[in-house]
Structure 1
Amino acid sequence: MKPEIKAKFETYPAEAQRQLEAVRGLIFSVAEENDLGAVAESFKWGEASYLVKGGTTIRMDWKSKDPGAIKVYFHCQTRLIETFREIYRDEFEYEGKRAIIVPLGAAVKEGPLGHCLQMALKYHSLKHHPLLGA
């Protein structure tokens, strides 16, 4: 983990840190399992940001104004959130066209969240398919 991201995460409550680290681990795991190449980890707009070649950026953060959850952000001009809402209507809460809300107590595992991350990491090869190939 990049030092600036680690330092930012360390300013958050322990539960938020654990959840952010779990989602980060899932991003790296999904990228590896799908042979998507190296994950570029950076800091954008004050948030941890992840990208692989051929994908779209995934960002995540915890905000004190919504202390019971972290949010996983996706580019709002993609069809990602629209697709996630269609296929995972009851699995997640969403914030507009930008984010999946992940409660601090939720189990972070492959399943639906892993599939959503996979679609973002493969976005440019999926964007022309109905429901992004789901």
Structure 2
Amino acid sequence: MTRPFASTAARDAFAAFPQPARDTLMSLRAMIYEIGKTLPVGRIEESTKWGQPSYATPDTNLATPIRLGLSKAGDPAIFTHCQTTVMNDFRALAPPDMAFDGNRAVHLPTDSALNLDELAPLIRAALTYRL
């Protein structure tokens, strides 16, 4: 079952993503909520920042925001705040073939098999950044 969108802006942001990027990003959205339920971070809030779906923990303020969107090349991507250590710390654990955009994003292929579970440590680290 797909979780209802928190706002029409979030719904419209996902609707604007082309296929198959939308499916990948929707799977990541579900992962963020699933992982969030296992952590002591409180409620996950979905909003939009810069036209992209964004996820934060407003009740505890423990997360650094996670955004979902498209890279400049049009690939689906997961973004974290570039002034945190989240992406660089994750890079040390990530598979060698994972494509990074500096310290702000992981680009996700749509033309090959993607193991989204490999992104779970990144999501966990972002949601608990200030813990």
- Category of TM-score, reference length = shorter chain: 0.7 to 0.9
Deviations 1:76-126 (A, max 9, x none): 11111111111215152100111011112443533x20111000000012x
- Is residue 20 from structure 1 mapped to residue 25 from structure 2 by the alignment? yes
Q: Which of 111, 119, 125 in structure 2 is aligned with 1:113?
A: 119
| Mean CA deviation greater in 98-107 or 11-20 | 98-107
For the 8 Å contact 1:22–1:108, the answer to whether it is kept is no
CA RMSD of aligned residues (A): 1.7
Deviations 1:34-84 (A, max 9, x none): 242210110111111001231110011125x423x2111111111111111
**SS of residue paired to 2:103:** coil
- Is residue 100 from structure 1 mapped to residue 92 from structure 2 by the alignment? no
CA distance 1:101–1:56, change in 2 (3 Å): same
- Is residue 37 from structure 1 mapped to residue 45 from structure 2 by the alignment? no
For 2:123 and 2:97, locate their aligned partners in 1 and report how far apart those are by CA, in whole Å: 14
For the 8 Å contact 2:90–2:121, the answer to whether it is kept is no
What is the identity, as a one-letter code, of the residue corresponding to 1:66? A
For 1:106 and 1:76, locate their aligned partners in 2 and report how far apart those are by CA, in whole Å: 27
Q: Which of 73, 80, 91 in structure 1 is aligned with 2:79?
A: 73
- Larger helix share, 1 or 2: 1
For 2:97 and 2:120, locate their aligned partners in 1 and report how far apart those are by CA, in whole Å: 12
Match of 2:63 in 1: 55
Measure how far apart 1:10 and its partner are: 1.3
Q: Percent identity?
A: 27
**SS of residue paired to 1:13:** coil
What is the identity, as a one-letter code, of the residue corresponding to 2:70? W
Runs (5+) with no aligned partner, structure 2:
none
